[in-house]
Amino acid sequence: MMRVPMIISLARAFVGGLAPLAPTTTRGMRSQKRRGGRRAAPYSDVAEACAALGRRAAELTRVNTPPDLVVVPTPLGEPADLTVRAIAALAAADVVACEDTRVAGLLYEAAGIERKAAFVRHDAATAAATAPRLVEAMRRGETVALVSDAGTPAVSDPGALLVRAARDAGLAVRALPGPCAATTALSASGFGNGLAFSFLGFVEGRGASAARRRALRSALDAAVEGPAVLYESPRRVRQTLLDLDKLDGGASQRLVLIARELTKTHEETWRGALGDAVAYLDAGGGGAAAPGESPRGEFTLVLDAKPKQAGSAEDAKARVAELRASGLSASDAAKAAASELGLKKSEVYRLALDAGEE
């Protein structure tokens, strides 16, 4: 795994006049091959390959028109997850808008980036006041890099206010791809069909408030067409899972993934029934020092859709009658009813015949 020393070597590769690399997209490589172009020899080691990517990132930063605002995802925990494009963007920025200037400073230090940019605190408490000032800086021709403490800015993050302000002012915004706890946990869950999911961020409300109950109900309702992803703190994660189970009927068999401290040394994931999640935490899961102790770390929860309950024979007969009345054949009506109710088509068709639905 690429660690801090390698990141520093990449940052050093950015210095000086660097020649552009050959196209790296699949289309670019194919067209080069058709033209008879010579393919580059494979790199001898990972460090050499990463340095080449660093040179390309630096060249992109040099030749492309600088955006007014560049959104830079930062590692969830592992410094090596900072991309070479992110390093190049941070090195070129005039101003860095960050939740915590100390955390941003440590990021620059870990990546070996010389700190030339001005750091401006831009968090939930200050965003409304700092966004106009940052927009003015962009209008003066300065490039502002927006970062969060961890992950992708503007995703469950106050950076969204600055992006909106820049867009409303007609300024150029460029977002870089990178780490995000929601998509990282989702991709590890195995839930859904990969076509849709819902993201709800941190659960709103406190204690037993109506707002919190509505937020938890919304999370369960959202996990219908696809999984639902939410964030939670170690202090509240146990109660959140307990309340979700209660709202889902108790002893819920709906699957949930609990992801803790993603990409960090003590990363942990657990996948099981929602009704068993609290028992997992109470037994010492979730980073607890001992069974019964409080969980530790940052949590991402992924809720799967609730398992379908098979309908009864009476449900099947009633549904087939409705579908037959709408013009479907007995076979098609049985097929549709079986799919809706989680029953076998042959059983539903037999019930339909018994009921006289020829």
Query: What is the pLDDT, as a whole number, of residue 355?
Result: 65
Q: H helices of 283-357, where? A: 313-325, 330-341, 345-354
Instruction: Give the pLDDT confidence score for residue 10 in this predicted structure.
Output: 45
H helices of 178-276, in order, are 181-189, 210-222, 237-247
* CA 127/CA 21 separation, integer angstroms: 39
Task: Assign residue 205 a region (left: φ > 0; alpha: ψ between -120 and 50; beta: otherwise).
Answer: left
SS3 labels along 19-87: CCCCCCCHHHHHHHHHCCCCCCCCCCCHHHHHHHHHHHHHHHHHHCCCCCEEECCECCCCHHHCCHHHH
What's the full length of the chain, in residues?
A: 358
Integer Rg of the chain from CA: 26
pLDDT at 301: 98
Distance in angstroms (rounded) separating the CA atoms of residues 298 and 103: 16
pLDDT at 225 (0 to 100): 78
Output DSSP code: residue 92: H
The pLDDT value given to residue 20: 38
Structure confidence at residue 41 (pLDDT): 56
Instruction: Tell me the H-state helices in 64-158.
Output: 84-92, 101-111, 127-139
Instruction: Give the 3-state secondary structure percentages of the chain, helix then strand then coil, rounded to 5.
Output: 45, 15, 40
What's the one-letter identity of residue 37? Answer: G
**Measured between alpha carbons, how far is 134 from 120 in angstroms, rounded to an integer?**
9
Low-confidence residues of the chain: pLDDT under 50 = 1-35
Helical (H) or strand (E) element with 141:
none
Coil, helix or strand at residue 116: coil
Give the pLDDT of residue 284: 94
pLDDT digits (tens, 9 = 90+) for 294-328: 999 999 999 998 776 667 888 888 888 888 888 88
Q: pLDDT value at position 32? A: 43
Give me the pLDDT at residue 27, please: 46
Residues 250 and 228 sit within 8 Å (Cβ to Cβ): no
pLDDT of residue 40: 54
